[in-house]
Amino acid sequence: MQRRRGDLLDVSGLKVVFDTYAGQVKALNGVELWMNHGERLGVVGETGCGKSVTALSVMRLIEEPGRITGGSILFEDRDLVLLPENVLNAIRGKDIAMIFQEPVAALNPVMKVGAQIVENIECQRKSAASVQASRKGGPASGNRPQGRVGVQRISSIQIMRDMLSHVGLDWQRTENLYPHELSGGMAQRVMIAMALSSKPKLLIADEPTSALDVTIQAQILNLLNSLVRETQTAVLLITHAMGVAAQFCDFIAVMYAGNVVEYGSIRVIFNNPLHPYTKGLLKAVPKIGKTDELQSIPGIVPDLIAPPDGCRFHPRCPYRRPECDKAQPRFEPARGEAETDRHHVACFLYQQDQ
């Protein structure tokens, strides 16, 4: 067992496959990333590189025909990969909450939004009560005085209203609306209110602004920024926009075709990118004031049913070497950098035993 790397979340060697009629899609091929309490980690990469699958795996929400085939997801002191469904349900929503790309579709169309938030608060209260009871050794509902439930419900409604005001919505107008009556930005605010209502330790945000108007994107990011700063909530931000990650995050994990190819602090990723893919990705970001042609990475994202042997990036890599299609490069610390930058890369150019 290797050394524990992050005290909140440590994903190592995570493999996920999807069994389809066309063949087995090897969606995650040994993902490595970690974070401490209160940190913000951005996961960046192209569409289909496995960002969202990674996020859903951490929630253990991968559905049939997908399944986790290897690796571990240490969350605080537990490996989420090994936990049974009922224990996971006590962690989901309570310790780890999630917001999604399309906020309107992520809300139940036939339930008022206030009720959906209250449901989350009540659910976390119940699982907390049952955890407490199981620690004491008694049943969860034992000797509960009559009327308690009603009082709790009222306080849940109060929390819901506070949360709605907190995310900049007028609760009197919003709580009785249905999702189709909300704009995308309002719906994402509702989702954020719901996710943060249980004071999670980790918030997973899966492209929270990609489906929104550009002006709304900035508002939502600023809101998220100020809310998680207040509560010191750790955030795992999934995004395809390098700029968003740079603004928001402390650390970045760059993913390519099911692997984290480079990981490190914002500083090292932007100032000293090592992996050829990261370099290519940064060149593909337009910069104000520069008029030279925007560079793109030649080639296309590989088919994950039959991915390239060895390093999955090698067919597109300008620095390709003979060993690149033979074996998968190890994910190793980069040489000569401060440990606080956590700079790691998976590329034969930097392999240490050569």
Partner 1 sequence: MELGSFIIKRLSLMVLVIFGVLIIVFVVTRIIPADPVGAILGGNAPPETVDAMRHQLGLDKPIFAQLLDYLGGIFRGNLGNSLVSSRPVMTDIMEFLPATIELAISSIIFAVVLGIVLGLLSAVFRNRFIDHFSRVFSILGISLPGFWLGLILILIFYYRLGWLPSGGQYDMFLFPTRTTGFILLDAAIHGEWDVFFNGIKHLILPTFILGYSSTASIARIMRASMLDVLHQNYIRTARAKGLPRKVVILRHALKNALIPVITIIGLEFGGLLSGAVLTETIFSWPGLGRYIVNSLLTLDYPAISGGTIFIALIYSVVNLAVDILYAAVDPRMRS
Residue closer to partner 1 (CB basis): 58 or 268: 58
DSSP 337: S
Strands 259-265 and 251-256: antiparallel
Distances in Å between the Cα of 287 and the Cα atoms of 46, 135, 242, 295 are: 19, 56, 12, 11
Considering only CA atoms, give the Rg of the chain. Answer: 22
Q: How far is the CB of 119 from partner 1 (least distance, A)?
A: 7
Candidate residues 111, 151, 285, 338; the one interacting with partner 1 per rule CB under 8 A = 111
Residue closer to partner 1 (CB basis): 78 or 321: 78
Nearest to 104 by CA among 10, 6, 181: 181
Burial state string for 311-321 with b = 16 or more CB within 10 A and e = fewer than 16 = bbbbbbbeebe
Interface of this chain with partner 1, residues 231 to 260, rule: CB under 8 A: none
Candidate residues 21, 22, 82, 85; the one interacting with partner 1 per rule CB under 8 A = 85
Site string for partner 1, 283-322 (x = CB under 8 A): ----------------------------------------
Residue closer to partner 1 (CB basis): 118 or 304: 118
Residue with tokens 């000293």: 272
Q: Which of these segments, 18-26, 108-116, 167-175, 269-277, binds partner 1 (CB under 8 A)?
A: 108-116
Distances in Å between the Cα of 322 and the Cα atoms of 66, 315, 325 are: 34, 12, 7
Euclidean distance between CA atoms 244 and 298, whole angstroms = 24
Euclidean distance between CA atoms 189 and 234, whole angstroms = 18
The reply on whether position 108 binds partner 1 by CB under 8 A is: yes
Q: Which of these segments, 23-31, 105-113, 212-220, 346-354, binds partner 1 (CB under 8 A)?
A: 105-113
Site string for partner 1, 9-38 (x = CB under 8 A): ------------------------------
Q: How far is the CB of 89 from partner 1 (least distance, A)?
A: 4
Q: Which of these segments, 32-40, 75-83, 106-114, 230-238, binds partner 1 (CB under 8 A)?
A: 106-114
Candidate residues 76, 102, 325, 332; the one interacting with partner 1 per rule CB under 8 A = 102
What residues are paired with 74 via a beta bridge? 10, 79
Euclidean distance between CA atoms 4 and 11, whole angstroms = 10
Q: How far is the CB of 127 from partner 1 (least distance, A)?
A: 6
Interface of this chain with partner 1, residues 169 to 228, rule: CB under 8 A: 178, 180-181, 191, 194
Q: How far is the CB of 107 from partner 1 (least distance, A)?
A: 6
Residue closer to partner 1 (CB basis): 59 or 260: 59
Candidate residues 83, 88, 216, 246; the one interacting with partner 1 per rule CB under 8 A = 88
Token pair of 181, please? 């009556």
Interface of this chain with partner 1, residues 113 to 152, rule: CB under 8 A: 119-120, 123-124, 127
Q: Are 18 and 65 in contact (CB under 8 A)?
A: yes
List phi, psi (to 5°) of 337. Answer: -130, 160
Residue closer to partner 1 (CB basis): 105 or 327: 105
Candidate residues 94, 166, 201, 314; the one interacting with partner 1 per rule CB under 8 A = 94
Residue closer to partner 1 (CB basis): 199 or 335: 199
Helix residue ranges per DSSP H, the chain: 51-58, 85-91, 113-136, 148-166, 171-174, 184-196, 214-231, 242-248, 266-271, 276-283
Candidate residues 109, 137, 147, 289; the one interacting with partner 1 per rule CB under 8 A = 109
Distances in Å between the Cα of 37 and the Cα atoms of 128, 180, 247, 352 are: 20, 36, 19, 30
DSSP 62: -
Contact positions toward partner 1, by CB under 8 A? Answer: 59, 61, 85-86, 88-94, 97-98, 100, 102, 105-111, 119-120, 123-124, 127, 178, 180-181, 191, 194
